[in-house]
Amino acid sequence: MKKSLPTRTLRENPDLDQLKRQAKELLNGFLAGQPDAVVEVNTHYHDASASNFALHDAQLVIARAYGFESWPKLKGYVDGVTVGRLSEVVRAGDLEAVRAILNLRPELTDRCMSGSDEHRALHYAVLHRRPEIVRLLMQHGADARAGIHPHRDATGPLTLAVERGYEEIVAIIREEEHRRQTGAPKPVDTDLPSEIAQAFQRGDEATIITFLGKHPELIRLADSGNGVTSLHKAAAFLLQPVAAWLLDRGADANAINRIGNTPLDVVGCARSFGTRKQIDAMTELLLARGAERTARWALINGNAEWLRARHEEGTLGQPIFGDEGLLSLAVRYDRPEILALLLDLGFDPDERQQMELEPPAYTWGQPLRHCAVFGKPEMAKMLLARGADVNAHILASGTPLFAAYGEKNQVMIALLESHGAYLDAELVGALGLAEKARQMLDDEAAGRLRPGSIPDWAGTMPVAEVLLVHGASKPEILRIALERTDHARDDPWWFDRLSNARADLTCLREVLDRCDPNIRGPFGRTILHDLAADWCNSEDSTGPATALLDAGAKLDTRDDLLKSTPLGWACRWGRIELVKLYLRRGADPVEADAEPWATPAAWAEKMKHADVLALLRKHKR
């Protein structure tokens, strides 16, 4: 049966005996015909019948209700077979213990340590140089390209292995990635070179065809990280001659990428100004060459009959493409008639999705948020009429009302607030709404703070601290919140405040007046490290870096993951203005105490930053 959404939440320290009692109570309730028990069983168990429903069936229902596929997996979690335990035995090099955990709970292979820690078991296997454990994890489906927030590009397991010179581990990863795609043991790098990816972007069909003609082994192979094939790219960029050439040479018209899209699903997605004629021509080509019609294709093309027929057959399901289900896509592509159909067919107006976390956690509300982002009040009304959660908090995206404020859409703001939507302190701070922030602080002081003003994750945190989670770069929010905070200068709490404040030099200086500039964050990095890998260019980073250095920030601190100083990070990312600044302020250009692969010169040479390397050599003289 289609995987059901969880309906129960595990307490912090679950007890197996209590779970067994819950299963027995559910069994007795179902056999007695109690309505709540019947509903729960039917939600998680297909064709349940009181004539043969047994205790093991009730245990399965309880497991699914808590977000686990089976009772043994739930029991394993309660007994300590968790992603945390997996990381422990990986670091210890206990291959058989790793194997035992994966045999019971293979889904842990690619699970993050927590919602705030994106280390996975494969990261630890690489960092501790455990080649056989790397192979075992890869054979269980580990993603060697998944990095760690906030510097995912530099922290994928394969990247870490390559940059450390762990050649045996690099060979294992490439061999296992190739085996997944072809079944053959021969290792090969199947990713398209960056110059060919750029050729797709600029529509240089001749270069693409010439290159792939010389490397026919890449025609059917998918990108190791996202599962995208050359045919996906040709369809997305509306390069019909390239698509036809690929199909003539055996490209799979039904290849599925990591988020479940076929080439037909992505037609025109990378071309903002593609004409309807181009889109139709590419669609017709793929269909003529064997592409199977998909729910996403039907929705984008407004084919309600196809969707209704698949639903009646029981084959439609409720597919999710990345973080978007069919309802969200109906909003994105402005298909109100399809949205109405899907809601009539019983689709969840919140599109609730389970996240790959321990214990199971969920995100929901994307369709209504899309209405706010894309300015679709009438579609929002349809969702709200069917029970959509007006205060749904979408993972890493805030609430629908937060999106409406961000878009400055007064119509959507009024509509959502008329249905009970409100902003909590975290979102008020992120939006920089000073008057609302002052009102919250006054309400808190008077004991009349509205329920829900403090988000669940914040527990008993005071309003002022919640405002600063995302509001430290908003001068007015920062000032009124700092007046009501009192943390020691060396409290690690300040790291995230510094990180947020660095986007505004005035705010950064105000925070630096209150804290130690050498506060360390996840995997031992400082703000000087982060500036080297920032989204902004190196020139923009010199102002914040200077402020930090003037406040006493140190240049000899090494992080725990890249084992490098701020200068090393600047060399890795090619931030030459930061390199110049750090060297002027006394950074060691040699770093003889660093691991050989983690010196400033090693990073500049590895990443092919010739200008940085020349500057380092000049300073060594």
Same domain for 498 and 471, yes or no, is yes
Residue 2 in domain: no
Could you tell me if 350 and 389 are in contact, meaning their C-beta atoms sit under 8 angstroms apart? Answer: yes
Residue 189 in domain: no
Return the structure tokens found at 333: 């592509």
Residue 10 in domain: no
Could you tell me if 462 and 447 are in contact, meaning their C-beta atoms sit under 8 angstroms apart? Answer: no
Q: Is 36 exposed, middle or buried (0-12, 13-18, 19+ CB in 10 A)?
A: exposed
Residue 559 has φ and ψ, to the nearest 5°, of -75, 170
Same domain for 549 and 574, yes or no, is yes
Same domain for 413 and 313, yes or no, is yes
Q: Looking at residue 250, what is its pLDDT?
A: 94
Report the C-alpha gap between 77 and 330 in whole angstroms: 37
Q: Is 294 exposed, middle or buried (0-12, 13-18, 19+ CB in 10 A)?
A: buried
Same domain for 438 and 508, yes or no, is yes
Report the C-alpha gap between 305 and 287 in whole angstroms: 18
Q: Looking at residue 535, what is its pLDDT?
A: 54
Same domain for 100 and 208, yes or no, is no
Say which CATH number the domain at 113 has: 1.25.40.20
Residue 299 in domain: no
Residue 9 in domain: no
Q: How many domains does the chain have?
A: 6
Q: Is 182 exposed, middle or buried (0-12, 13-18, 19+ CB in 10 A)?
A: middle
Q: pTM to 2 decimals?
A: 0.82
Report the C-alpha gap between 154 and 118 in whole angstroms: 13
Q: Is 187 exposed, middle or buried (0-12, 13-18, 19+ CB in 10 A)?
A: middle
Same domain for 279 and 204, yes or no, is yes
Q: Looking at residue 4, what is its pLDDT?
A: 64
Q: Which of 158, 182, 206 is the last residue of a domain?
A: 182
81: left (phi over 0), alpha (psi -120 to 50) or beta: beta
Report the C-alpha gap between 490 and 551 in whole angstroms: 14
State which residues form the domain around 582.
517-621
State the sign of the Cα–Cα–Cα–Cα dihedral 69, 70, 74, 79.
negative
Please state the length of the chain: 621
Same domain for 445 and 415, yes or no, is no
- Which residues are paired to 325 by β-bridges? 320
Residue 187 in domain: no
Same domain for 59 and 99, yes or no, is no
Report the C-alpha gap between 440 and 453 in whole angstroms: 8
Residue 549 in domain: yes
Same domain for 252 and 211, yes or no, is yes
Report the C-alpha gap between 26 and 65 in whole angstroms: 11
**Three-state SS sequence of 122-162:** HHHHHHCCCHHHHHHHHHCCCCCCCCCCCCHHHCCHHHHHH
Same domain for 339 and 400, yes or no, is yes
Same domain for 276 and 353, yes or no, is no
Give the residue from 112, 130, 126 showing the smallest Cα distance to 158: 126
Q: In Å, how far are 56, 121, 189, 193, 248 from 199, measured between CA atoms?
A: 57, 36, 19, 10, 20
Same domain for 462 and 438, yes or no, is yes
Q: Which of 405, 422, 439 is the last residue of a domain?
A: 422
Segment 413-416 long-range contacts (CB within 8 Å, at least 24 positions apart): 415/377, 415/380, 415/381, 416/372, 416/380, 416/390
Residues in the chain, pLDDT under 50: 1-2, 185-189, 537-538
Q: In Å, how far are 184, 445, 525 from 452, measured between CA atoms?
A: 55, 16, 33
State the sign of the Cα–Cα–Cα–Cα dihedral 52, 56, 57, 58.
positive
Q: Which of 473, 496, 513 is the last residue of a domain?
A: 513
